[in-house]
Amino acid sequence: MSSKPPVLILLRSPETILKQYYKGISEAFPDLKVTLVNNVSQADVSHLADAEIIITHGPHLEQRAGFVLSNAPKLRWVQGIGTGVDNIADRRELRDAVMVTNIQGVHGAPMSEAAMCAMLALSRRLPRSMANKAAHKWENWPSRTLDGKTVGILGVGVIAEAMAPRFKAFGMTVIGISSGPRPLPGFDRIEDREKLLSVMPELDYFVVLTPYSPATRHIINAAVLGAMKPSAYLINLARGGVLDEAALLDTMTTGKIAGAALDVYAREPLPPDHPFWDLDNMILTCHQAATNENSAQNNLPIINENIRRFIAGDIAGMKNIVKRIGEPPHDPPEPI
């Protein structure tokens, strides 16, 4: 590696956040060449040819991940800005010599608030209120409360550990669903993932956090959706691939559950002609659950520390290594 490795920031983030990443890295390392590309569709060979470090997010690479990784011959390290590294570490185009790191420990608060926002908006039928506002229509109805309800969280990692006590503060019963059940604060109990179908009928809200991997692809399928209460709500903040979207569309259009809120999709950006856009009982956000005004400030200390260690040759001391140098591309670790 060189002492001044060129850095490519390749993110589909709001402009204010992109500028914070660029400024934070450029000011910390004034001798480095830092290039910013705000959409993977604009990334070409000229951007990739010299990049030794790419700072990106798997979903932001969209369908061009293979192109990016195949056309960066000097690439030595990919720093993800999220916890998940799917569409990076699992790409066959990723060379063994390229290391991958992620960000951990900073997403608990924003993800928890996104889940709470979705649950409250669904329970109080906020989309219907907004439609009535646009139509100048006065209408009211009884809202549902979170107090006394049961919420299930699929995938019990550090984000779920931050989320569960917040749900408890709203008077909810909290059930974790995990491949590694163990007692944790904030949870009333944690069930093995193999019991997912038997747990579903208990839930009033079902929050999906599990990372995407071959083991979790379409883990939320027609059978799981069919086991939910007709009055229950689904909130997916994980990855689009964990959910069988065709099964969900059938579930929603036939009124088998009360509603859903999705922040992630099998294809991103979600195509403008996708039928999800037209469903009244569905809230759609654009993969922004973890994005907040402090995203860059929270991530930069980890990113900059890793850059310092990378330049110094202290590879073993870098934070949150997911794929080490010399390892072939591989699926993300089995989620818990």
Please compute, for residue 156, the number of CA atoms within 13 A of its CA located in the half-sphere on the CB side.
24
Contacts of residue 42, defined as CB under 8 A and 6 or more positions apart, other chains included, come to none
- The pLDDT value recorded for residue 333 is 62
Residue spans of the chain under pLDDT 70? 1-2, 332-336
DSSP string, 212-260: PSTTTTT-B-HHHHHTS-TT-EEEE-S-GGGB-HHHHHHHHHTTSSSEE
Domains 7-106+292-323 and 108-284 belong to one CATH topology: yes
The top-level CATH class assigned to 108-284 is: alpha beta
Q: Is 42 helix (H, G, I), strand (E, B) or coil?
A: helix
**pLDDT of res. 154:** 98
Give me the pLDDT at residue 335, please.
54
For residue 117, the one-letter residue type is: C
pLDDT of residue 104: 95
**Which CATH fold would you assign to the domain 7-106+292-323?**
Rossmann fold (3.40.50)
Prediction pTM value? 0.94
* Domain coordinates in residue numbering, the chain: 7-106+292-323, 108-284
Edge-first strand listing for the sheet containing 259-262: 189-192, 173-178, 150-154, 205-208, 233-236, 259-262, 282-284
